[in-house]
Amino acid sequence: MKLMIYLAAACCVFATSVSSQTRYFLFPSEVPSYSSQFSGTINVFGIAQYAKNTDPVGAHFSLTDKNGRISVVYDDILPDLFEVDSPVVVQGKFDGNIFKATAIFVKFSADHMPIPALNELRSYGVLITGE
């Protein structure tokens, strides 16, 4: 009976710590260490730097935060609102030294983002306003 109580308590502590660690996105400086532990699709928020078209369809650019930078490859046409030195969220997987993006989001609204995510963005100096 004591074992069941200890197991139940451990599960509750674990569930609480996991739910409090929920992240909506990572910053570029966090991607290499996070990706070495998790191989699934992730969202990365950063500031787009140096963009270059690689083919008629596709682009290569850097995504930065105040502590790091990652290279991003995107095998599709960049969104019309994509601009260098602007905030971007890329969705995809980190493959070695390159982040392979499957989606790029360039328009954000404070009306649709959770408060913790907005506060984290503001800590990086990015202001997201309502629609």
- Kindly state the tokens that stand for 8: 């139940």
Q: Which helix (H) or strand (E) holds 90?
A: strand 87-95
pLDDT for res 23: 58
Phi, psi of 61 (to 5 degrees): -155, 170
Rg over CA atoms, the chain: 18
Do residues 77 and 57 lie in contact, with contact meaning Cβ atoms separated by under 8 Å?
A: yes
Q: Which residue has the higher pLDDT, 87 or 4?
A: 87
CATH number, domain 23-123, options 2.40.50.140, 2.102.10.10, 2.60.120.10, 3.30.460.10? 2.40.50.140
Least confident of 60-74, 88-102, 114-128: 114-128
pLDDT at 104: 93
Instruction: Tell me, yes or no, if the pTM score tops 0.75.
Output: no
Mean pLDDT score of the chain, rounded to an integer?
Answer: 75
Helix or strand or coil: residue 112? Answer: helix
